[in-house]
Structure formats: C-alpha cells, structure tokens
Structure 1
Amino acid sequence: MASKRSDVITKGFERTPHRALLKGTGVPGEQMDKPFIGIASSFTDLIPGHIGMRDLERFIEKGVHTGGGFSFIFGIPGVCDGISMGHKGMHYSLPTRELIADMIESVAEAHRLDGLVLLTNCDKITPGMLMAAARLDIPCIVVTAGPMLAGRGRGGRAFSFVTDTFEAMAQFKAGVIDEQQLQVCEDKACPGAGSCQGLFTANTMAILTETMGMSLMQCATTPAVSAYKRRLAFASGQRIVQLVHDNITPRQIMTREAFENAIRVDLALGGSSNTVLHLLAIAREAGVPLPLEEFDRLSRETPQLASMNPGGKYFMEDLDAAGGVSGVLYQLRDRILDNPTLSGLTVKQVIDQVREVDEEVIQPLSRPVRAEGGIAILAGNLAPKGAVVKQSGVSEKMMHFEGRARCFESEEAAMAALMGGQIRGGEVVVIRYEGPKGGPGMREMLAPTATLMGLGLGDSVALITDGRFSGGTRGPCIGHVSPEAAEGGPIALVEDGDVICLDIPGRKLELKVDDETLAARLEKWRKPEPKIKTGWLARYAKVVTSAYTGAVTSIDE
C-alpha cells in the first residue's frame, strides 16, 4: 500500500527509538509494515451497556489481524446517564462527549494510527466518538455494543428501564403500586448487558450511526448478548483494514445526505430528543451545515412509522426482528437520499437487499403511527432560538396547552415540589439555570419527567427547561430552550403565575407577557454565580455554546 500515517513512527533509522518502544509493547518487527489500527474501547464495569465489550474487543482484534492489520486497544471513559441521574454526577454527562472526542483525537494523532475501530454503546460516548471520527477524518468504523434484552416477569410481561424504575418510583409514591411490586421492577428492569431496551438516546444514536453508514448493517439493533454481535465485531475489524488501504474516511460517508437520512430515520422511529444536540455537534465537526430548523422541516414531511418504547410498545429486539435499520430505510425508500456507506454498498443498494419487513412494527408510509415525525422544534418569545419536544411521546390532549408557570431554579427544587404533591393540574413547571452554561453541563432530567407521568400528571401539567431530557422521556416536556437562563434568555424572566402557551402543531412556545414588561424584568436581572467554580466543569462552562448550536465547546462563540 502507499505510505501510511504510522510510517512516521516506524520508518527510517531516526525512528529507532520509536520502534524500540513499540517492540517493548510486544510488536514484532515484521508487523511494523502493517496498518496500525487503534481500538478505542469504552469498556467499563460501571455501565450495563459496556460490560460485554471485553468480548467484542477480542473479536475486533481477530478481525483486524485477519484483515492484515495490527491492533492496539486504548481506553475511553464512559458515564452511565441512569446512574448519574438526579445528583451532581449528571453535570458531567454531556461534557464527557467533548472529552471523548478530544481523547480519541489525542491518542490517534500522538501515535499516528492509520485507522480506528470505535467501540461504543451509551449516550454521550457514541456521539463523542463520531465527533472524533469527523474531526480526524482518518479511516474509522463504529461498533455499537448492542441493546439489552427486555426484562421478563410473570406471564411474560416485558420490563424496561425507564417505565419500570423511574416511573414506578412515582407510582409507588402515589400508592399505585406497593413495595413488593416496586422491588420486582428493580430486579427485572435490567436483566444483563446492553444499552437500555427502548428507543432511548443510546439506541437512537446507534441507529443513526448505522443509517449514516458509519457502522455495518444490523449493528445498531443486534442485541448485545447475541453471537451475531461477535461476528459483526470481527467483520468490522476486517473492514477497517480495507478502509485504510482504500483511504475511505468519515467525511466521505458523513455527508449532508447522510445527516438528512439520519434525521428522517430518527423522526420515523420517534427517537430521543438528545439526537438534535448530537447531530448538530457531529455535523459541525464534519464541516456540514445543519441548522436546527432542518429537523422541523423534515419532521413535517416524515411520518412516524413505529411505536417504540418508552412512548410506545415495541422494544429494540422487536425492531431488530422486524427488519432493523434496513427495514426502516425500506419503508422510507422514496424519501431516502443515496449515499455511500462503510460497508461498500450505497444506501439505495442496502434498501434493494431488503426482502421482508414486519409492518406491524415498522409501519408503511400509507399507515403511519402519526402524520409527523417524532421531534418538533418550537419557537416564540420564550424560546427565540428554539426549543425541542419529543412530540411522539405527547398525548393528543397536551398538543395544545395553556397553564400558569411554577418556576424552579434547579432540578432538585422541582423534584421536591413534585414529590411533595405541590404541583397541580393546569400548571407549567419551569426548570431553569440547567442549560449548557448554567447547569453547567445541561443535565438530563429523567426523574422529574418520569415523576410527572408516574403521578398521573402527564395530561394536565407541562414542563419546560433550558436543560435536556433523557431519551426515555415522554409527556409534554420541552427542553433545550434557547437562549438559556444563564445567558439572560427569556426563560430567566418568567415569574410564578405567568401564563405559558404551548402549541406543538403550530410550533409555538409563548410567554403571555408583553415586551415592555419583559424588558423591565431584564433590566433588573443579574447573572447568577456559577454553580460549580472549580474543576474542569468551571472551564467547560466558559466555552460551551448554546443548545441550538449543539452545545459544543468553542473559543469562537
């Protein structure tokens, strides 16, 4: 093959010290001419979605060496959003996306690796790895470790993480279930390895990764515990060596067409609202213009075709059996743009290979679950730069809603009011100073949204925030309100009792307060002291951008 990046550390007498160090790691001299492949592994004992990665690392290694490369495993950190939820730990979750991208860049550049296999699964880890791939633009392939199987109880009842832990917690508080039933939920919700079973952020990002062509077909939906996942890992290891030989890089794959396809598939499945943040950030690294408004344009013309947990009834294992990502692409075939994938096939060629789709799970365009896609972008005087709602999880009754504001300066304060029975029907819970800067870290708030549903308030109370929500969120919950409160956005000026109007079909989020009054309130507003003044989050808060730009770290904005 032609010259390689790794030649910088393996060729010539002046690289004798470099080769000596490589031999010190066990690299045989005759292997120095082979492509050096980094396996960026986010294995950890802390996250169910990642505990099976030691096994997948072995099969990726086997594939790399079978393909004619030499592999090196290096570690990437992971944070479990579920475990870090509802306390200080959640401040760190979104910011780790930037750390992951920076770490992969650092290792790949410092050691002049020729290609990368990115072994990932959960929420911020997958987008962080895709950001690194786009930034480096060296041959890369993604292996997502796969979804968890649904838990099973008596009579075959299916359990999932969100509805059977977070929402069950509120149901117990409300007396709907007893302590024994709560314990069953705790014991059955997470039966083993894999990302949470529904269409939460981890699985949505895996699906979008496959849709964009950055992982092999079926990788996204194949369960973590299946033998086929091992075979996909092996095949990915083989494939990266060929990608290096052919010099096929991420920016050739992650084109404008790829991002549009990803958004359409996300909308058709009713995926996580967090994908808005992540796709914006990945597109920025790939040099692809992607305005926030594009999500709403596509949502209006892309019907929702599947009823996926948490808002619906199907789990990832059902989607996999029904045809997986290829099946969704097939149902959307007239609206999907052709684009290359890392498999060597184009998207249209992938679609042409589909032979059967279970239309009870992935419904046809002629019989959609909803006429519009799962995500809507709202705007108005309360969110001049936009806000995001997962409309696939909102009941028809709450698509239009008007209520009086109950304002809270943190997630904890709102949770205390919810659990204390202080929130009533007809109110709008406003949680602010939880944005990228104000949080800092734009904490994911599954607890308050799940509590709303568990308490039976999902059809009478709305929630808005400059923070963000879990992929498991359902109900009338509007996040990413921009500008955020910490930047003096209108959400900082809301007072208890103000009337807020939510109109999802009309894409409106309005505060029924006149401009003159808001201007007077802004005159009196003072930027609050940072919540965290030490450590790296204090530095993060100074450089992170608004949610409508993807909440990326930038010294230019």
Structure 2
Amino acid sequence: MQEKKDPEPQGFARGLTNYGDRGFALYLRRSFAKSMGYSTELLKKPIVGIATSGSGFNNCHRAMPELVDAVKRGVLAAGGMPIDFPTISLGEVFLNPTSMMFRNLMSMDVEEMLRAQPMDSVVLIGGCDKTVPAQLMGAAAADIPAVQLVVGPMMTGRHQGERLGACTDCRRFWGKFRANEVGEQEIDQIEGRLATTVGTCAVMGTASTMACIAETLGMSLPGTAAIPAVHADRIRAAEASGARAVQLIRDPLRPSQIITDKSVENALRVLLAIGGSTNAIIHLTAVAGRLGIPVSLERLNALSDETPVLVNLKPTGEHYMEDFFAAGGMTAVLRELEPQLHLDAITVTGETLGERIAAEREAWVDHRIVRKSSDPVEPQGGLVALFGSLAPRGAILKRSAADKSLFEQEGRAVVFISLEDLAARIDDPELDVDANDILVLQNAGPASGTGMPEAGYLPIPKKLAQQGVKDMLRISDARMSGTAYGTIVLHVTPEAALGGPIGLVRNGDRIRLSVRERRIDLLVDEAELARRAKDVSPPKRIARGYQKLYQEHVLQADAGCDFDFLQAASKDDASTGGS
C-alpha cells in the first residue's frame, strides 16, 4: 500500500528557515510578521506574492504602486494574504551597457525569491522590455502558480496635428534630424511629446510583443495584454489577476503545465502575425529553454511561410497600441488564427485556448487594425530566419518592417569592427560608402563584452541620409529595438567574438542576401577565411562581477542568450538520451 504524503505546508509555514526545530522556526516567523501589524487570522491564510519591478529608473513602471494596490484588493477579496516584494527593475534606456545584459540577472532574482520566500502563488508585474521575459523565465524555473500582469502601453502624444508614439516615431524624427529635414528647435519640441504618459512604448515594440506572447502562452488573463497603462481596465485587470492567483492555490496550475510545446508554438505564430519584435524570438527561446522546450529557427520559417501579418501597427503598419486595444486586441488576433493554433493548450484561467476563443466569439473587431486572415497586411509572417556561410546557425530579419526591394541583392561590405568604431566613422564625410553597399557591425554579440545591445539599427551614414537614402542593408551580431524598422539582419550566429564568420568580413568583401532562399552568404573562399581566422584575437575578458559571469556563461542568440547553467535539459535530448 502506497504511503500517503502529508500536504505541502501553505502560507507562512511554507519553506521554513531551518534552525533544526520546525516549531520554533514557525513561531519566530509569525512573531516577526506580527511586527508589521498582521492579525493572527490573516497569518493563517495562503500567501500570494506580488513581484514588483518599479524603480525611479523605469519610467514605464511609474504606475506600479497603483497596480500593486489593485492586486492586493483582488487577493484579499478572494481570501488570500497579499505580500509584495521588490526585484531588480530594468528600465530599457537607463541601463549601461544594455538592458539585455541584466535580463538573466533579473530572472535569477525572480526565481530565487519565489523559491526562498513563503508564497503559494505569485503575481508578476512587469512591462518594460526585459522585465516580462525575466519574470517568465524565473517563474518557469521556480514553477509555482503564477499570473503575469503587464503595466500596459502608453498613450500617444501630439505634434503639429500628428500623433506621436515612442519609440518608432522617435527614430523617424531623429532620422529626419540627421538628414537636416528637421531643425534643432523642432527636435527639442518632439522630444517632450513622444512619451507623455506612464506605460511601455506605444507601438508593437518588444514590450507590447512580450505582453501579447505572455497572453498567448496562457500566463496572463485573457484580454489583458493591450490595455493602455492609464485605462481603468488596467486596474481591474490587476484586481482580477490577484483573485486568480488565490484560486491557483486552491486548484494549482503551474507554469510547466501552461508553457508547453503547444503553447510555445502558438506564441511563435502570434509573434509572426502581429509583426512583433525580433527580440521576442530570443526571449521566447529563453523562457521555453527553462522548461527544456527547444525553439527551432527552421520551425520559425515553416510557420512564417503560412502565417500572415494581421496587425496594422507601427513599426510594421500605421497605428498604435491604443488602437489595437480598441480594435479587439489579442482576442481578435487569436480568433483569426484559430484554425492554425493548438486549441487544447491550457491557460492560467484553467480553460483551454479554444474555450477562451469560443467564449469571445461575438466580440467586435475593427478589421482596419486587426485584418482578416483573408485580407492580411502581409501574406507571410513578420520574421524570417536566414542561414548561410555568414550565419551558419542563423540570423533574423524582420521582413514586415523592411524594404522589399532590398530582399534579393549582392553588395560590397563596409565594416565597423566595434561600437566605438561605428560611432567614430559612420558620419565621417570621407567614409567610402554608397547606397548599394552593405553595412556590417562586428563584436556586438552576447559574449563580446557589450551585452548584445540594440545597435543593429545602424544609422544611415549622414552623407547618404542627406542625399535622401532612407534604408540600406545592415548586418550585425547585435539586436534591434522592437520599435525600429529597416532592412536589418540581426542575431548573426555564431557571433564575431566567438570566431563566427561575421568577424571575418573585411571591407570590400561581397555579401549576398536572398530572403526568397532564406540565405545570407559571405562570398569569400574558405582558404582566405581560414587565413583570416588565424589573425583574430579573442575578445577582451571582463575581470570581475556579474559582467564576467555573463560573458563566460551566456549562450548564443539561437539558444535565447540565457546562461548555460540555467537551462533545463532539452525534452528532445531527454527522449533520445542525449546530453
């Protein structure tokens, strides 16, 4: 007869500090908790942790206190005890060298605090680009019941009768400024009108893309991804998330039951359909990797070939996140994609994705914003993976935000060997470059010491911008902001710092791009590349601290740029006995 196990302790009795005496440990814990004014009755209730990521260096999260209060209301009304706690906060534009370097650190913070502190479930509140993937990575690894709540996108501003939204319009006007189409006084005015409310970027950048992915994965409540940060529905979503976190304690549903092969593939398809950020493929790969779920770039291409772009939002289209919310949001997208989705995937509500879509079948949709699958913005998905002699393990192009006239071309490489070299020479009037050339940035990948910044959006050389050049092919091992646009090949793997072919490109080399064939090739013979490889120096090693840990353990872009020691064994490896 199988021995019956005692139920796992809940609330303050969970995960007691070990003094060798459980009774004393619980007595001591309750004693210190009572110093915060909690009653004996409240201390008996199950605990919902509230992971907060607000900071004075994170403008997107300015409304965090209001959301925390609303989550607490929901938890208390549902019979639980809410306790909020801080984690690292990643304000995208305030971090040096780049927020990407600190995503893994935040994920470790989240994971370890979920394990170490007594909580039965958690509400994760994030938004700014790297916070949501970090929270999902940490929650997937800790695997306690969790609900993801995002802060929501900001509203647009106005300038001379035109709507403005960070940060696609930031880049558009800065490009005009560099081309002398906008003067100093006007660019100063625009600076104060681009980001005028709390919330994440107003377009389908990385933050909004990750919000949509979190909802598609099933980790957020239905319909919550696109609610503007200043909308009353955002506060109601926070309250409902708190209530749901209590229900997850009574009827547990863990991230490992929600983030599965099927829900990850659903998220990939949604990423393609919304014209989402290139960053999202790295983040989704890292989240899935925490549960041993592989994400294949070849599979991304197969899905992209059959998944249309449906959402008409900047930087791919014309509109903004507030329009997406009003048009039906993720409900509208999922309904159009329904025949292509795994409808039996479970969501945090306990219902399947199919049941969620069926319940919202009659919801109104503005098809100017979310197009019908029979009338898409683009017939194929927003992202495409490229392979070839320049990128043996892959690279990414956001074709929905690129100039199609540049998709099949061969050109001369103009090489920048570092970020410093790029900054020093890109606007030099003597730079040998024309509009048919291909700009190549090296040594900006994850292990280079730079942290893989959003430098892949290389500026058009000023002398070309002033001639009216708006786009040209740019290639790097860096990333690009989800708010950016252009014919830009990113995440070239292996990176230059690890001896990848991109580090062997020299000025004047010929490079061929074929989006049709999914190829990016360096047209230099192997003997010459082998000769060049002998002269390549390894990157400067970082001597201490977290950046040393990052440089030594970060994986490449095709593995999500996670740390090697944080990834779970692949399910594919486990099933075949591989390592």
Same fold, judged at TM 0.5 (above): yes
Once residues 464 and 361 of structure 1 are traced to their aligned partners in structure 2, the CA distance between those partners, rounded to angstroms, is: 31
**1:383-414 CA distances to partner (integer Å, 9 max, x unpaired)?**
00100111111111111122111111222322
Once residues 165 and 128 of structure 1 are traced to their aligned partners in structure 2, the CA distance between those partners, rounded to angstroms, is: 26
Partner of 2:516 in structure 1?
505
Paired residues for 1:53-132 under 5 Å: 53-84=64-95, 89-91=96-98, 93-132=99-138
**1:62-119 CA distances to partner (integer Å, 9 max, x unpaired)?**
11111111111111222222344xxxx133x112211111111222222231111000
Matched, 1:457 2:469: yes
Paired residues for 1:95-174 under 5 Å: 95-155=101-161, 157-174=162-179
**1:416 offset after TM fit, Å?**
3.5
Matched, 1:40 2:51: yes
Once residues 294 and 179 of structure 2 are traced to their aligned partners in structure 1, the CA distance between those partners, rounded to angstroms, is: 47
Match of 1:364 among 366, 369, 372: 372
Query: Aligned pair in 2 of structure 1 residues 105, 278: CA closer, same or farther (>3 Å)?
Result: same
Partner of 2:334 in structure 1?
329
Query: Aligned pair in 2 of structure 1 residues 14, 122: CA closer, same or farther (>3 Å)?
Result: closer
Partner of 1:495 in structure 2?
506
**1:353-385 CA distances to partner (integer Å, 9 max, x unpaired)?**
132221111111111111210000000000001
Match of 1:390 among 386, 390, 398: 398
**1:326-358 CA distances to partner (integer Å, 9 max, x unpaired)?**
100011111111111112332112212132221
Partner of 1:265 in structure 2?
270
Equivalent position SS for 1:190: coil
Once residues 425 and 13 of structure 1 are traced to their aligned partners in structure 2, the CA distance between those partners, rounded to angstroms, is: 74
Partner of 1:177 in structure 2?
182
Q: Is the 8 A contact 1:173 1:419 kept in 2?
A: no
Equivalent position SS for 1:188: coil
**1:180 offset after TM fit, Å?**
2.5
Matched, 1:320 2:325: yes
More displaced stretch, 533-542 vs 253-262: 533-542
Match of 2:481 among 461, 470, 473: 470
Once residues 226 and 81 of structure 2 are traced to their aligned partners in structure 1, the CA distance between those partners, rounded to angstroms, is: 28
Once residues 214 and 233 of structure 1 are traced to their aligned partners in structure 2, the CA distance between those partners, rounded to angstroms, is: 14
**1:15 offset after TM fit, Å?**
2.1
Partner of 1:249 in structure 2?
254
Paired residues for 1:361-440 under 5 Å: 361-421=369-429, 422=431, 423-440=433-450
Aligned residues between the structures: 549
Equivalent position SS for 2:262: helix
Q: Is the 8 A contact 2:166 2:202 kept in 1?
A: yes
Write the letter of the residue equivalent to 2:105. L
Q: Is the 8 A contact 1:458 1:476 kept in 2?
A: no
Q: Is the 8 A contact 2:456 2:490 kept in 1?
A: no
**1:444 offset after TM fit, Å?**
1.3
Normalization by structure 1: what TM-score?
0.94
Query: Aligned pair in 2 of structure 1 residues 451, 337: CA closer, same or farther (>3 Å)?
Result: farther
Structure 2 segments unaligned to the other structure (5+ residues): 1-5, 17-21, 568-579
Once residues 369 and 40 of structure 1 are traced to their aligned partners in structure 2, the CA distance between those partners, rounded to angstroms, is: 37
Once residues 98 and 475 of structure 1 are traced to their aligned partners in structure 2, the CA distance between those partners, rounded to angstroms, is: 28
**1:440-484 CA distances to partner (integer Å, 9 max, x unpaired)?**
31111266358789665344x211111111101211111110001
Once residues 312 and 439 of structure 1 are traced to their aligned partners in structure 2, the CA distance between those partners, rounded to angstroms, is: 35
Write the letter of the residue equivalent to 1:68. G
Query: Aligned pair in 2 of structure 1 residues 13, 433: CA closer, same or farther (>3 Å)?
Result: same
Match of 2:32 among 1, 6, 21: 21
Q: Is the 8 A contact 1:382 1:509 kept in 2?
A: yes
Write the letter of the residue equivalent to 1:122. C
Once residues 114 and 373 of structure 1 are traced to their aligned partners in structure 2, the CA distance between those partners, rounded to angstroms, is: 39
Partner of 1:545 in structure 2?
555
The structure richer in helix per residue is 1
Partner of 2:361 in structure 1?
354
Once residues 364 and 329 of structure 1 are traced to their aligned partners in structure 2, the CA distance between those partners, rounded to angstroms, is: 11
Query: Aligned pair in 2 of structure 1 residues 446, 507: CA closer, same or farther (>3 Å)?
Result: closer
Normalization by structure 2: what TM-score?
0.91
Equivalent position SS for 2:458: helix
Paired residues for 1:1-20 under 5 Å: 3-6=8-11, 7-8=13-14, 12-20=23-31
